[in-house]
Amino acid sequence: MLGFLGNVLTDGPLYESTFRLAAVLAFAAVGEWVAERAGTINISVEAMLLGGHFGAAIAFTASPNFVLAIAVGGMVGVSVAALQAWLSHYLTADQFGIGLTLNILLLGLAAFLQPRFDLDTRLAGVTSIPLLADIPVLGPALFGQRWPMYVIYALVPLTWWLVMRTNWGLEVRAVGEDPQAADVSGIRVNARRRQAILYAGLLSGIGGAVYLFGQVGRFESGNIGGKGIIAIAAVIFGGWTLRGAVAGCLLFGYVDALRLNLPTILGYSLNSQLLASLPFLATIVVMLLFAKHTRQPVALARPFVRGLK
Amino acid sequence: MRVVLRSAIGRLRLGRDQRELALLYVACLVGALLVSLLLIEVNGSSWTRAVNALVDGAFQNPGRWGETLRRTAPLLVVAVGSVVATKAGIINIGQEGQLLVGAMGGAFILTLVQPGNPLMLVLGIALGAAAGALWAGLAGALWYWRRIPIVLSTLLLVYLSSQMAAFTLTRGELLLNVVPGEPNRLLQSAEVAPGSRLGIIEVFGNRFPLSVPVALAMALGFGWLLSRTTWGFRLKVLGLNPRTAQRAGVSDVRYGMSAILVSGATAGMAGAMMLAGGESQYKFSSGFSSSVGWDGLLVALVARNSPLLAVPVAVVFAALRSGSTFLSVAGIEAVLVDVVRALLVVALFIPPAISDLRRKRRALASLTERT
């Protein structure tokens, strides 16, 4: 038992795949965190991730340039987000219905259009950061990855600064806590919400692209399968704080990595259905333990219509 | 002719808002259709072939509208349940999982008790409904106990349910049909016992199971319950303003929980009835739900939470489903239908929202004019 625990805690490859799985979650979760601080919930992060994934694959097939393809992925994410934002926070259609529909739409589109393109993608190269990558156990996981993964290191502090230290961020948070008061003080509530969702789309789109070039290498329409939902869970797990959301991503990434790596660590396979449901089960259990100690944005998931409380 | 038309329009007395709304609906639907057709052409197939295949598959070919009706039933039942939850202000979006769990629960009686009888049919559907209610109730309990958002927990439970269903199909002592002497390549259950199947109604060569009238009755019944009973009224109060509901003595937990249990039970029942009504050759498999739960939820949303409006919407969605089987024969990928359906839903979301917005703007404009 102790030996097993030791293996689970010190296995290098386990941490490497933890980081890779957590990174894709983190792109979506960091974006969704901003959107949720503005008082919206976007189930369509799933569609944004998939859009970025697919868009990047098409772009890379057209011209094999990683940076360009990741940018295109981000733009596709933004377009999906624009639909979500316009429909649910300009027209005030039901945000969950729209999110669900967008998920179905993107999944259908990707599956329908995929055979049309002769997709040809590959993994980006590994860039080890000297010295840091030599740290035992965690070094290779954090600093010996394929280079697109490192984008997340820049995005987390940038997002924190944007939301916590700029005027725009203050207004975004105000809109999520008390839209009526924000409206009275001259903030365009739904505009801020739309912008927050667009930001979530940008990050999720980039995340989908990074996932393509940093981990899977080849596009499949089922690749995203539920990652967006887990990212939303990570935001809730983190109690609507950025560091909490990132911690949630690492935890869920660890559970997912455990699922993939347990057979090699243990030497035998556990029940595959149980392992596949582990991330979802863990999400529920973890929320069960921590959800009550957190405070959510007061106006979360409440559409804003002037004059209505 | 013109005079007749004009007088007919006059008699309808459409106000400015209604005319605008109708126009918007037409515009958006045409838009969705155009985008769909464009997609088909981009993908290198002809749109006339696609439309023909869809119409043939859904209505025109012999026996096909019976097939469409068969597929309408579960969509309608799921939609009716979603309406109940939404009316109470609860956002249950895990019908897909609740339906799968319901079908699985039903399978434990329907496929395991051979040769079956009508009592087993009733028990099987009841167990399905109970399983669905339990699955949704879990999310409800998590909300009222620990304030875990129902939207999220129901969604997470969808992913859990498919793994659970897959698990029951790996064990001979659970649902897997072990055929002696043959390797178990197909992970599916035994057939539903012949005695426990839903009766088949045949009209002009169109065959559909009894679940169709049951679904229709449920739509009417819940329409009545929601609009004419105290329970329905209290749900509505709760959904419109929980604080008012609390002041009026409507227990949040009791009525909210009742709504989510009903929505789960209907989804579960839909699953069990699908199984007893001949879906996938009366056999349960892990992909059994095949997005019927998602679709049912969308039907409810498109029907703007009216159980009666859900009937025609469900028929349209079912027609797309039964038509899609002909698409692949015509050499067009059947996932096209998913795209068309999603576009259709978006197109149907837009008009009421725009019309609302414009009405408010006009009201505001006339207000500022006066002052």
Q: What does the pLDDT look like over A151-192, one tens digit per residue?
A: 999 999 999 999 999 999 999 999 999 999 999 999 999 999
With respect to residue B54, please indicate whether it lies within any of the assigned structural domains: no
Q: At residue A309, does pLDDT exceed 50?
A: no
Q: Determine the residue type at B195.
A: G
**Mean residue pLDDT across chain A:** 87
Please indicate whether, in this complex, the C-beta atoms of A100 and B349 are within 8 angstroms of each other.
no
Question: B152, A233 in Cβ contact below 8 A?
Answer: yes
Q: Determine the residue type at B269.
A: M
Strand partners, B176: B189
Q: Rounded to the nearest 5 degrees, what angle is found at the Cα of A296, between the Cα atoms of A165 and A86?
A: 75
Rounded to whole angstroms, the Cα distance separating A213 from A148 reads: 7
Q: At residue A85, does pLDDT exceed 90?
A: yes
B1 or A261: which leads in pLDDT? A261
Please indicate whether, in this complex, the C-beta atoms of B152 and A233 are within 8 angstroms of each other.
yes
pTM of the model: 0.89
Residue (of B285, B291, B292) closest to B111 by Cα position? B285
Q: At residue A1, does pLDDT exceed 70?
A: no
Q: Which residues constitute the domain of residue B74?
A: 63-362
- Assign A105 to helix, strand or coil: helix
Q: At residue A291, does pLDDT exceed 90?
A: no
Rounded to whole angstroms, the Cα distance separating B232 from B234 reads: 5
With respect to residue B83, please indicate whether it lies within any of the assigned structural domains: yes
CA distance A288 to chain B (A): 6
Give Cα B76 to chain centroid, integer Å: 5
Supply the DSSP symbol for B56. Answer: I
Tell me the residues of chain A between 69 and 108 that have a Cβ less than 8 Å away from chain B: 83, 87, 90-94, 96-98, 100-102, 104-105, 107-108
Share of chain A above pLDDT 90, in %: 50
Rounded to whole angstroms, the Cα distance separating A155 from A167 reads: 18
Across the range A289-296, mean pLDDT stands at 74
**Mean residue pLDDT across chain B:** 88
B83 or A260: which leads in pLDDT? B83
Rounded to whole angstroms, the Cα distance separating B96 from B293 reads: 4
With respect to residue B1, please indicate whether it lies within any of the assigned structural domains: no
Please give the pLDDT value at position B330. 81
CA distance B294 to chain A (A): 8
Question: Residues of B with CB below 8 A from A90's CB?
Answer: 357
Structure tokens at B303: 């029907």
Residue (of A180, A172, A179, A220) closest to A200 by Cα position? A172
Please give the pLDDT value at position A298. 85
Please give the C-alpha separations between residue A43 and each of A95, A273, B98, B165, B223, in angstroms, as whole numbers.
Answer: 8, 25, 19, 24, 29
Q: At residue B214, does pLDDT exceed 60?
A: yes
Overall number of domains in chain B: 1
Please give the pLDDT value at position B333. 80
Q: At residue B185, does pLDDT exceed 90?
A: no
With respect to residue B269, please indicate whether it lies within any of the assigned structural domains: yes
Rounded to whole angstroms, the Cα distance separating A206 from A208 reads: 5
Tell me the residues of chain A between 229 and 268 that have a Cβ less than 8 Å away from chain B: 229, 232-233, 236
- Assign B19 to helix, strand or coil: helix
Across the range B264-268, mean pLDDT stands at 97
Which residues, in sequence order, are CB contacts of A63 under 8 Å at separation 6+? none
Least confident of A18-32, A111-125, A267-281: A267-281
Please give the pLDDT value at position B287. 84
Q: At residue A301, does pLDDT exceed 90?
A: no
Q: Determine the residue type at B47.
A: W
Rounded to whole angstroms, the Cα distance separating A82 from A76 reads: 10
Give Cα A134 to chain centroid, integer Å: 28
With respect to residue B220, please indicate whether it lies within any of the assigned structural domains: yes
ipTM of model: 0.86
With respect to residue B172, please indicate whether it lies within any of the assigned structural domains: yes
Q: What share of chain B is helix, strand, coil (3-state, %, to 5)?
A: 75, 5, 20
For residue B357, name the pLDDT band (cuts at 50, 70, 90).
confident
Least confident of A34-48, A138-152, A220-234, B139-153: A138-152
* Count of other CB atoms within 10 angstroms of residue A189: 25
Please indicate whether, in this complex, the C-beta atoms of B346 and A87 are within 8 angstroms of each other.
yes
Per residue in A86-99, pLDDT (tens digit) is 999 998 888 988 99
Q: Is the peptide bond before B307 cis (omega within 30 degrees of 0)?
A: no
Q: At residue A308, does pLDDT exceed 60?
A: no
Rounded to whole angstroms, the Cα distance separating A97 from A226 reads: 17
For residue A285, name the pLDDT band (cuts at 50, 70, 90).
confident
Question: Residues of A with CB below 8 A from B139's CB?
Answer: none
The total number of residues written for chain B in this structure: 371
Rounded to whole angstroms, the Cα distance separating B154 from A263 reads: 30
Q: At residue A138, does pLDDT exceed 80?
A: no
Residue of A98, A100, A287 lying closest to B294 (CB–CB): A100
Max intra-chain CA distance, chain A? 63
Per residue in B74-113, pLDDT (tens digit) is 999 999 999 999 999 998 999 999 999 999 999 999 988 8
Rounded to whole angstroms, the Cα distance separating B139 from B259 reads: 12
A273 conformational bin, left if phi > 0, alpha if psi -120 to 50, beta if neither = alpha
Question: Residues of A with CB below 8 A from B43's CB?
Answer: 112-113, 116
Rounded to whole angstroms, the Cα distance separating B257 from A267 reads: 45
Please give the pLDDT value at position A238. 84
CA distance B349 to chain A (A): 6
Share of chain B above pLDDT 70, in %: 94
Instruction: Map out the domains of chain A with their CATH numbers.
Output: 2-8+23-122+150-293 (1.10.3470)
With respect to residue B293, please indicate whether it lies within any of the assigned structural domains: yes
Helix (H), strand (E) at residue B223: helix B211-228
With respect to residue B39, please indicate whether it lies within any of the assigned structural domains: no
Please give the pLDDT value at position B371. 61
For residue B217, name the pLDDT band (cuts at 50, 70, 90).
very high
Tell me the residues of chain B between 15 and 54 that have a Cβ less than 8 Å away from chain A: 39, 42-44
Please give the pLDDT value at position B9. 56
Rounded to whole angstroms, the Cα distance separating B100 from B135 reads: 10
